[in-house]
Amino acid sequence: MTNVKESRWNRYRVWKPLGLMVLAGLTPPEWEITIMDENLGAPDYAALPRPDLVGITAFTSQANRAYEVAAHFRRLGVPVIMGGIHATACLDEVMERVDSVVTGEAEGIWPQVLEHVRHGDLKPRYDGGLSEAGNIPPARHDLLASGYAFGAIQTTRGCPLNCIFCSVTAFNGAKYRQRPIADVVREFKLIREKRVLVVDDNLVGTRPEHIARAKELFRAMAQANLRKEWVAQTTINFADDEELLTLAAEAGCRGVFIGFESTTKEGLSEIGKKFNHRNGRDIRASVRRIRQHNILVVGSFIIGLDTDEPGIGRRIAEIASRYSVDNINVLFLTPLPGTRLWDRMKAADRITLDGYPEDWKYYTLTFPVARYKNLSLDGIIAEMIACDRTFYSMPRILRRVWGNLRGRRQPLMSLVGNLSSRNNFHLSCKKYTAFKRYLE
Ligand code: B12
Ligand code: SF4
């Protein structure tokens, strides 16, 4: 959970739980629904009226808290259903702790589950599989109306790439599914916030037909005059089509989050993302093309690949600065359950934090939970600190923000993003100390 009270910057890091809002959108009107988002603060469940049914979602890192909440309601005799990414990846573990588990996407199965609940015939397990993009209902944006800086929407599901560390292809499939444009535009109009996170894992896709559809969507969004400013995740090929960039900016795109992952070709091969250097791509030039459209770029990198040597932290900070990205997100290589990396690391007995479910709390990608080939525990933490300390030094932050001020590229957003990350870095240093104590 991200605790908004831990730091005022967390307000910009708390995003709406869209999965639950979509689930609410799938729920027939005779059910009265309340969404509790513990990122905004844990409610006193005992003081609330007794519900007829509790549905819980959780990432792997939130599983322990999910089990505590489940245990509370089960003690009261309220049936508890859990779904989402962790329930799908760790079915057996979750089945032991709730009354029923829904794996996969919910669109095809949730109405049936609710019917079973009404008839007192809840089964221990359901599988929703993958939904048709046209069957995704608008999320209930009205249910979480305050407390967030950003609204949220999803326009596509799945990712055609299959990076070894990523859960997306395992969970949402490699088939890239794009929602009907009219549905997306209609749903955008239901969002009250001016700023929106488009949660897609890969906003524009990789093939010509994906890109053509993305252009159509952006045209429709601009025509609908939505007046939204949004950020999204995309792959670096976003930079390859000037028309796409122009249309995205006209539709309100103000920032993209791109997974560069590694600074070397060998590293990219190791994680199955050669895509990033296909056709000898000049990443610096790609980033420049995106930023010329007043779209900020956040670059994501991983520390802990087998090809990473001591010095990798500073190297990432220097290369990210050379690419001229506006911000970075650097994570420890983490074997998430259900991924190919998990299979590989488990087979090689390289996962060090494996006291489950308790240890899941460290699967936030911000702790080193495995053995890394060329970096010791202290070594890899020192690399992360060196990376953050270099990239978020005050002179570098000011240089980036000044560059954006001169280029009229959202200097305020760039300043807030950098200061928030710098603050997060200071919090992380304290967390590493506690983490090492936990390992002793
Ligand atoms: C948006 C997002 C975030 C937001 C979170 C917003 C929020 N409050 O939920 C932010 C940016 C904060 C975030 C943070 C993190 N994230 Co994230 N995130 C995503 C992303 C891109 C989209 C999630 C989403 O909204 N999907 C759209 C909704 C509609 O889909 P859904 O949630 O899957 O819900 C559907 C089904 O799962 C099901 N369902 C879901 N819940 C339930 C519950 C019940 C009862 C039922 C019946 C069904 C059901 O029904 C829904 C409709 O079909 C996913 C990738 C993905 N494709 O899921 C990664 C993803 C979930 N994140 C991931 C990770 C690792 C993290 C972090 C741990 C690390 C990081 N730094 O990114 C942190 C977690 C921090 C923490 N607090 O612990 C991993 C999770 C893997 C795992 N095993 O847990 C994913 C899969 C990405 C990946 N590349 O692997 N994330
Ligand atoms: S490109 Fe991104 S979403 Fe797609 S598999 Fe790789 S990391 Fe996951």
- Pick the residue with more confidence: 197 or 430? 197
pLDDT exceeding 90 applies to what percent of the chain? 87
DSSP-assigned letter for residue 351: B
Q: What is the pLDDT of residue 314?
A: 98
> Over the stretch 342-367, which tens digit does the pLDDT of each residue have?
999 999 999 999 999 999 999 999 99
Q: pLDDT confidence of 8, banded at 50, 70, 90?
A: low
Closest approach atom of ligand 1 to CA 60:
84
Write down the mean pLDDT value for the chain: 95
Cα(56)–Cα(67) distance, integer angstroms: 9
Cα 292 to middle of ligand 2, angstroms: 25
> Over the stretch 303-318, which tens digit does the pLDDT of each residue have?
999 999 999 999 999 9
Contacts (Cβ under 8 Å, ≥6 apart) of 154: 18, 22, 136, 179, 198, 199, 200
> Over the stretch 129-139, which tens digit does the pLDDT of each residue have?
999 999 999 99
What are φ and ψ of residue 331, in 5° steps? -125, 155
Which residues, in sequence order, are bridge partners of residue 385?
none
| Nearest residue by C-alpha to atom 79 in ligand 1 | 167
Q: What is the mean pLDDT of residues 18-45?
A: 95
> Over the stretch 188-244, which tens digit does the pLDDT of each residue have?
999 999 999 999 999 999 999 999 999 999 999 999 999 999 999 999 999 999 999
Q: What is the pLDDT of residue 425?
A: 86
> Over the stretch 57-84, which tens digit does the pLDDT of each residue have?
999 999 999 999 999 999 999 999 999 9
Q: What is the mean pLDDT of residues 3-24?
A: 77
- Cβ of 302 below 6 Å from ligand 1: no
Q: What is the pLDDT of residue 19?
A: 98
Q: pLDDT confidence of 145, banded at 50, 70, 90?
A: confident
Q: What is the pLDDT of residue 225?
A: 96
Q: What is the pLDDT of residue 2?
A: 54
| Nearest residue by C-alpha to atom 51 in ligand 1 | 19
- Cβ of 102 below 6 Å from ligand 1: yes
Closest by Cα among 35, 42, 32 to 18: 35
Position 56 pLDDT exceeds 60: yes
Give the ligand at the shortest distance from the Cα of 163: 2
Domains detected in the chain: 17-127 (3.40.50.280), 148-439 (3.80.30.20)
Q: pLDDT confidence of 9, banded at 50, 70, 90?
A: low
What's the sign of the alpha-carbon dihedral 213, 229, 411, 2?
negative
408: left (phi over 0), alpha (psi -120 to 50) or beta: left
Position 7 pLDDT exceeds 80: no
Q: What is the pLDDT of residue 384?
A: 97
- Cβ of 64 below 6 Å from ligand 2: no
Q: What is the pLDDT of residue 202?
A: 97
> Over the stretch 83-111, which tens digit does the pLDDT of each residue have?
999 999 999 999 999 999 999 999 999 99
| CA 247-301-1 angle, 5° bins | 90
Q: What is the pLDDT of residue 169?
A: 92
Q: Which amino acid is at 307?
A: T
DSSP-assigned letter for residue 440: -
Instruction: Ligand 1 pocket test: pick from 27, 116, 167 the residue with the most ligand atoms within 8 Å of its Cβ.
Output: 167
Token couple for 49: 């009226």
Cα 124 to middle of ligand 2, angstroms: 31
> Over the stretch 253-288, which tens digit does the pLDDT of each residue have?
999 999 999 999 999 999 999 999 988 899 999 999
Q: What is the pLDDT of residue 11?
A: 60
Q: pLDDT confidence of 1, banded at 50, 70, 90?
A: low
Q: What is the pLDDT of residue 12?
A: 63
